[in-house]
Structure 1
Amino acid sequence: MNKRLPVLAVDIVLVVVFCAIGRRSHDEANALAGLATTAWPFLGGLAAGWLANEALYRNKSLPASVVPAGVIIWLSTVVVGMILRVIGGQGTAFSFIIVATSVLAVFLLGWRAIYATVMKRSAAA
């Protein structure tokens, strides 16, 4: 099995969870359609990040690594996601940009850091 697919799946789930939390915190209706509307720009940014990482570091950077893969994927998810939100007529208030950047950093970099720590401890044992 391709080792990248589980990593991509974790990233997708975390981006969707981020969007679901945001929608829930604002009591927004239309659960599935609304979630799709909120998530597509960030999923597009995530795809751009994955493509950029593959183009720049094919076979040199594991997608589960924090640096450079995690940073590229996180920044692309935020930047491209915000651009796509503007194109799609969605809001990009400064406070939202700060929250999205912070939460996506915790999600997309955090799980990679935890994974790296677990793998190091497993290797040492």
Structure 2
Amino acid sequence: MWLLIDLLLVGVFAVVGRLSHYGTLTVGGWWSTAWPFLVGALLARALLAAARRPPAAVTSGVVVWLGALVGGMVLRQVAGQGTATAFVVVATLVLGALLVLPRGVLASVGARARR
């Protein structure tokens, strides 16, 4: 379940970025922004799948966040796309919020429900 949610949220990150910078959205423009982060998230998910003992939801969110962020920035650099400091800061914050916060909220709600 989280795999699809993670990919969807990374896609939302790319949509918001494209719209905020260009004011329009095309499939090609979205894809050029999204693919490095999607690949980074998928690599992180593969790492999680290979783990003998799956981590807690919030921990897995941190792994996916860092994978999407670091993998995305490395792939953007290799592809000749921008990795300006301001972009890295914004991507760090937005991807962190999108990929970690939902897990934290659900974990908190689940903990309260068990009490």
Structure 1 length-normalised TM:
0.85
What runs of 5+ residues in structure 2 fail to find an aligned partner? Answer: none
Residue 27, structure 1, aligned to residue 27, structure 2: no
Q: What's the Cα RMSD here?
A: 1.4
Percent identical pairs in the alignment equals 40
Match of residue 84, structure 1, among 50, 75, 82: 75
Structure 2 length-normalised TM:
0.92
CA offsets 1:9-49 (integer angstroms, 9 cap, x no match): 11111100011000000125551111011100000000111
Hey, what does 2:52 align to over in structure 1? 58
- How many residues matched? 115
Match of residue 116, structure 1, among 100, 107, 111: 107
- Equivalent-residue separation in structure 2 for 1:18 and 1:35 (angstroms): 10
- Equivalent-residue separation in structure 2 for 1:92 and 1:60 (angstroms): 32
Match of residue 3, structure 2, among 3, 8, 12: 8
What runs of 5+ residues in structure 1 fail to find an aligned partner? Answer: 1-5
